[in-house]
Amino acid sequence: MKFKIYIIVAMLPLTFLFTSCSKEIQEYNKPAIYWYSKITQSVSSGDLEKADSYYSSLQGEHIGSVLLPEATMILAIAHMYHEEYLLSEYFLDEYIKRYATPNEKQEAEFLKIKAKYKALPHPRRDQALIDEAIAEGEKFKLLYPESMYIEIINTMLTRLYLAQYVLNDEISDLYERLDKPKSAEYYREINPQPWIISDEVDRAVAPWYRAWFEGDGTSSWYEFMIPDTKSVVSRNSITQEDVQGDGNETK
């Protein structure tokens, strides 16, 4: 008898496992309003992973549902609120490509630029994202010159251009410390904004716990450990020997 009880007790976890799986398996072939309500409930409780899963079911089972545009925008805004900017941009792309009217497209494009902008808390870490955000901001101004969002776009672009300028300036300083004057000059010349006056730019001050590793843009605590070899220099950098070689070739 005891042996039978042990067997039953041992089988209980497996029973719970299979019953829970069966509940998950039953979640299909539901009305569009069912999936939509599940999405909104999950967003309200902060479970965006489940909300995304329910969205996939809504999109898969009801590709022509009138609830899809609203569900897509809800998830785009929810992911932005939770600082998941790449996912927010994904849903905004979906909304723009599939559902947005011309008026709605303008707002969605603005939110997409905002998501890129808010994804840059530390500009030194993503040069490409700064360039993308600037390009999309300038494109927005060309497409919607009378937009109600134009002043916000201008503010974001101003800050992005300043971040780009400071980043290029710091890269130039790095090349100067590595004795690469040609590369340093290149990065100083690609700063395109004549209205930026270097001495009047308030540089961002990193907190002490980040400054230890990132430095202040001019030096870092681990600088003494960097060997003076070409292995630490970008393959695209220009050496003094390259300049001398070019001069000999022209002769």
By the 8 A CB rule, do 30 and 59 touch?
A: no
> Predicted confidence band at 125 (pLDDT cuts at 50, 70, 90)?
low
Tell which residue, 87, 67, 66, 65, has the closest CA to residue 78: 87
Torsion sign, CA atoms 187, 189, 191, 196? positive
Mean pLDDT value across residues 100-128? 84
> Predicted confidence band at 96 (pLDDT cuts at 50, 70, 90)?
very high
Question: Per-residue pLDDT tens for 6-61?
Answer: 444 444 454 444 444 444 555 778 999 999 999 999 999 999 999 999 999 999 99
Tokens at 190, concatenated: 């690609």
Dihedral angle over CA of 18, 22, 25, 28, nearest 10: -170
| DSSP secondary structure letters along 183-203 | HHHHHHHT---TT--GGG---
Secondary structure class of 121 (helix, strand, coil):
coil
Tell which residue, 74, 153, 137, 85, has the closest CA to residue 116: 85
Gap between the Cα atoms of 132 and 63, Å rounded: 31
Name 222's Cβ contacts closer than 8 Å, sequence gap at least 6: 213
By the 8 A CB rule, do 151 and 114 touch?
A: no
With a cut of 50, say whether residue 195 has pLDDT above it: yes
